[in-house]
Protein backbone atom coordinates (compact mmCIF):
# COMPACT_ATOMS: atom_id res chain seq x y z
CA UNK A 1 0.00 0.00 0.00
CA UNK A 2 3.11 2.19 -0.32
CA UNK A 3 3.87 4.74 -2.98
CA UNK A 4 4.32 3.10 -6.37
CA UNK A 5 6.61 4.11 -9.24
CA UNK A 6 4.10 6.23 -11.15
CA UNK A 7 3.26 8.16 -7.96
CA UNK A 8 6.94 8.99 -7.46
CA UNK A 9 7.11 10.25 -11.03
CA UNK A 10 4.08 12.44 -10.45
CA UNK A 11 5.58 13.88 -7.26
CA UNK A 12 8.89 14.52 -9.06
CA UNK A 13 7.08 16.27 -11.91
CA UNK A 14 5.21 18.55 -9.49
CA UNK A 15 8.46 19.43 -7.67
CA UNK A 16 10.14 20.13 -11.00
CA UNK A 17 7.30 22.44 -12.02
CA UNK A 18 7.30 24.26 -8.68
CA UNK A 19 11.03 24.84 -8.31
CA UNK A 20 12.35 24.59 -11.85
CA UNK A 21 15.27 22.50 -13.09
CA UNK A 22 17.87 25.17 -12.24
CA UNK A 23 16.96 25.31 -8.55
CA UNK A 24 16.81 21.57 -7.87
CA UNK A 25 20.60 21.05 -7.39
CA UNK A 26 20.75 23.98 -4.95
CA UNK A 27 17.71 22.64 -3.11
CA UNK A 28 19.28 19.19 -2.82
CA UNK A 29 22.57 20.72 -1.62
CA UNK A 30 20.86 22.76 1.09
CA UNK A 31 18.86 19.74 2.24
CA UNK A 32 22.07 17.70 2.48
CA UNK A 33 23.80 20.42 4.48
CA UNK A 34 20.81 20.69 6.81
CA UNK A 35 20.80 16.94 7.36
CA UNK A 36 24.54 17.00 8.07
CA UNK A 37 24.16 19.81 10.63
CA UNK A 38 21.22 18.01 12.27
CA UNK A 39 23.22 14.79 12.49
CA UNK A 40 26.17 16.62 14.04
CA UNK A 41 23.96 18.32 16.62
CA UNK A 42 22.33 15.00 17.55
CA UNK A 43 25.77 13.46 18.01
CA UNK A 44 26.85 16.38 20.21
CA UNK A 45 23.70 16.04 22.32
CA UNK A 46 24.32 12.33 22.82
CA UNK A 47 27.91 13.05 23.89
CA UNK A 48 26.69 15.72 26.33
CA UNK A 49 24.15 13.29 27.78
CA UNK A 50 26.81 10.60 28.13
CA UNK A 51 29.13 13.08 29.88
CA UNK A 52 26.33 14.21 32.22
CA UNK A 53 25.47 10.60 33.03
CA UNK A 54 29.12 9.81 33.72
CA UNK A 55 29.47 12.90 35.93
CA UNK A 56 26.36 12.08 37.94
CA UNK A 57 27.54 8.48 38.43
CA UNK A 58 30.78 9.77 39.98
CA UNK A 59 29.06 12.33 42.24
CA UNK A 60 28.70 11.32 45.88
CA UNK A 61 25.26 10.23 47.05
CA UNK A 62 23.01 12.81 48.68
CA UNK A 63 22.88 12.75 52.49
CA UNK A 64 19.89 11.23 54.25
CA UNK A 65 16.80 13.38 54.71
CA UNK A 66 16.96 12.98 58.49
CA UNK A 67 19.96 12.83 60.77
CA UNK A 68 20.35 13.00 64.51
CA UNK A 69 22.14 15.83 66.28
CA UNK A 70 24.34 15.49 69.36
CA UNK A 71 21.29 15.08 71.61
CA UNK A 72 20.13 12.04 69.66
CA UNK A 73 16.85 13.54 68.41
CA UNK A 74 16.25 13.43 64.64
CA UNK A 75 16.44 16.74 62.80
CA UNK A 76 15.97 17.77 59.17
CA UNK A 77 19.01 18.62 57.04
CA UNK A 78 19.72 22.35 56.73
pLDDT at residue number 2: 82
Query: What confidence score (pLDDT) does residue 30 get?
Result: 92
Tell me the mean pLDDT per 10 residues along the chain, length 78: 85 88 86 95 92 73 58 57
| Structure confidence at residue 7 (pLDDT) | 92
pTM greater than 0.75 (yes/no): no
Left, alpha or beta for 72 (phi > 0: left; psi -120 to 50: alpha)? left
What number of helices (H) and strands (E) belong to the chain?
2, 2
Task: Kindly give, in sequence order, each residue whose CB lies less than 8 Å from that of residue 76, ignoring residues fewer than 6 positions away.
Answer: 65, 66
Q: What's the DSSP call for residue 62?
A: P
Amino acid sequence: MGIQGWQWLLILAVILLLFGAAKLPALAKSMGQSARVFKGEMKAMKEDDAQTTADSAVAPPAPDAKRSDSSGSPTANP
